[in-house]
Amino acid sequence: MSVRFSSNRSRRRPGSLRRGITVIEVLFAMGIALMGLAGIASLLLLGGRQAGDSSRAAEGQALAQDWYGEFTARELNDSRKWIWWDDAGSILQWFDKQLASSVPSKGSTTLFRRELGRESVCLDPTFFSGRDLNNTLAMNNWYRPSVFPYYQDRYNPTVDPSTPMSAGLQWQDQPRMLRVTWAGPTSTRTSPVATSARVLEQVFFSQDDLSVVTEESDKSVAPARGISFYGAPSGSRLPLGRYAAESQYSWLATMSPTEPRNHATDPTDLYLLSLVVMKQRDRLYLPPTPAARGPGTASTPSNNPQGERLTWVYPISGNFVGGTGGRVRLISSDGADSKVHVGDWIMLAKYYAFEEVPGSPNYRPNSVFRWFRVVAVEDEETFGTLSDMGPSSDPYGLTPPNDVWAQDVVLEGPDWNFGSPLKFQDMSGTTVSLETPTTGTLIKGITGVFERVVNIR
């Protein structure tokens, strides 16, 4: 007699058998996990960058408060303490609020008379500090360091500034600030002297960010905070040291007269002070040798000074009324660095009014300067001819021979009027039309702009 044993395995359906995980499923799972990890990593990078920006902004705000106290305590709002480099005479001159038309021309050919008693200034002593004024502040090509930004009054921002000046490409005079420094205590009314670099270092650079230094030759020496090693005498075991700060932060001040309702009668002593805080500012200024460039020739921006970049600001959308800001296109020569980032600051400038005055030239302009923050940058910058950027030519109907770059950005700041041309009637009743484009000055490393209305004596 045979015995049969039943088996559950034999009664299972073929489709109900247990199967393993396939390679395809493993690869899909790994891909999903990697995508998630990449997303987390990108968030960490973004969060770290935003945390760094927030930290720099907070530090800049705190330093701005301290430096505003320095500004008022040392009475830097007294224009009798300001001197400037006269590049026409290669000599330091005292600033005078009643500049008339001769001083602001500063050696260049001007189309308009400048503002009588309404000159905007940039207090920037650290730019002058340590320079051989006779050599490094001479006019060169399209450059002119006696003004802020350091470009000639007639510079066309769509032209490479390293190329020789061309009368066929020059704009009409554009607004510039007179770059001034702080007169030293040894100055006389006939012989002004700039304040020493050591004093400027204490006033215009941060002193709280102490350096951390390690001794390379002896690893057993612990890192020292606030000590700068500068070499030891022969036979000494440990190097000598002194107090030192990294001085990564510095500041300059732009001062622009508030716009009067009546140019002839309103007082001009009230100025908008913009205290500009910068981290690791690029103060290098070495004007290049004039370079000939043929059409389409690639430029080398690294050969040109990049501490102050000048752009043509072309409005796209937004009314810039009521603090709403708007969207603009920055257009500049490919001889300038094209990088613009969220959080950067740009100073817009333009002429907003003209007055007819006796003599020749017959028109005196009034300029306005205001700082704006870049809150959004759209896509990557575009390189090509000016016609590729939207406008077929610049405001004066000129076309640069070389490429330009364009970057669309969103700005946040005070009200601004891009209207151009500016029309007014002269004394004879004739309507005069003058182009008044907006230009923008970019400085790398700005962490914040602290503004107050001050009285300039």
pLDDT for the residue numbered 20: 65
C-alpha–C-alpha distance, residues 211 and 51, integer Å: 22
- Which of 451, 450, 446, 449 shows the shortest CA–CA distance to 341? 446
C-alpha–C-alpha distance, residues 453 and 41, integer Å: 45
Cβ–Cβ < 8 Å for 89, 50: no
User: Residue 352 is inside which H or E element, if any?
Assistant: strand 345-356
pLDDT for the residue numbered 407: 95
pTM over 0.75: yes
pLDDT for the residue numbered 392: 85
pLDDT for the residue numbered 232: 45
- Which of 370, 398, 356 shows the shortest CA–CA distance to 112? 356
pLDDT for the residue numbered 276: 95
pLDDT for the residue numbered 237: 44
Low-confidence ranges of the chain (pLDDT < 50): 5, 10, 100-111, 113, 116, 227-233, 235-243
pLDDT for the residue numbered 422: 81
User: Residue 204 is inside which H or E element, if any?
Assistant: helix 197-204
Model confidence pLDDT, tens digit, residues 111-168? 454 554 567 899 999 998 877 776 677 777 888 888 899 998 889 999 998 888 877 8
C-alpha–C-alpha distance, residues 46 and 368, integer Å: 36
